[in-house]
Chains A and B, each alone.
Chain A
Amino acid sequence: MEALNAIVALSNFVLVPAIAYGSQLALGALGVTLIYGILRFSNFAHGDTMAFGTMVAILFTWWLQSMGVSLGPLPTALLALPAAIAVTALLLLGTDRLVYRFYRAQKAVPVIMVIASFGVMLVLNGVVRLIIGPGDQRFADGERFIITALDFRRMTGLDEGLAIKTTQGLTLVTAVIVVAALFWFLNRTRTGKSMRAFSDNEDLALLSGINPERVVAITWIIVAGLAVIAGVLYGLDKSFKPFTYFQLLLPVFASAIVGGLGNPLGAIVGGYIIAFSEVGLTYAWKKVLGYLMPESLAPDGLVQLLSTDYKFAVSFVILVLVLLFRPTGLFRGKAV
């Protein structure tokens, strides 16, 4: 019984939130890593691309809600995804045409591309705030919980409750589907293979007749899909605010770099590593240990490694450690 309580408390406050957060980070990091692998620069505008895509999804959701459309227990925002992805893809293709293509033609060094993406980030930042404003927006509807803490306690008779929000379940399911589809695309389709070839060796790919502009365009479209899905899931689960999406850039990049930039599998693992470290290191383990240990050994203090103030610092520290000791990341990506 005690052990069960410990597991439930741990699930409620660490496992469930960290898995949901990790999935959101993984989807974001996949976008960053794809751009790094194929276009060969770190896209600083990714956080704001997520904000832009989510904003479009919110606007479509509001429109759908005003028309009386709903998905029953699921959030209406899922219906708005395809339209939001299409608009965001157009935006990314537009910025590529306007900004990045120029530097690509010049064979600019990656750091110039990074600074260019920084400029794109600032512009998107402003555009999103102009359209939807800097404040909080809530757009989640439908059933809020798969199971509430109270129901769980009643069902099981345990002291601890386990709450799973619909958005948390949805995040995990969507992430699994999206990742499976992405890997199938990269490994099994002709276009996917040509993208990987382009990523491995640009010159050889060109010699074997791969059209670089087509590869680039497809990459942007996939990135738009990933960014919008990651952004909408994050917004549904937490809340949408342009500034928090800008701040997401740090954990997203940390995830991509920990896993190895340019390596999709690494991005996913990195996402979960960052999420679990952020939540786990700032969690006070008193309750869980109290259930597991005999009474005489139960801790008096909070057993908290870091105060929750340092949540963002965790991604920073992991980033620094990885760059110092294993610059290519866990999965042998490209060195930054």
Chain B
Amino acid sequence: MQASDRFNINSQLEHLQAKYVGTGHADLSRFEWAVNIQRDSYASYIGHYPMLAYFAIAENESIGRERYNFMQKMLLPCGLPPEREDD
């Protein structure tokens, strides 16, 4: 850790990671980052009601169904994690 980090939020990187799941680090893989992006996206869709309504119209589903689907997709949004290559 750099000396400069002592003063800002990065000083407690672990704590940060625990508090904000979506934060990343230098060893983050493409898959992990993508999962975070997907989950953030679904959370955002669900959180903004007009977005949800828009998707509902586009897919011809009820808003509740859309919300349910999005929530379900947050579980394994990108499928199973790829095999670790390094080990």
Q: Do A and B come from one complex?
A: no
Chain B residues proximal to chain A, CB less than 8 Å:
none
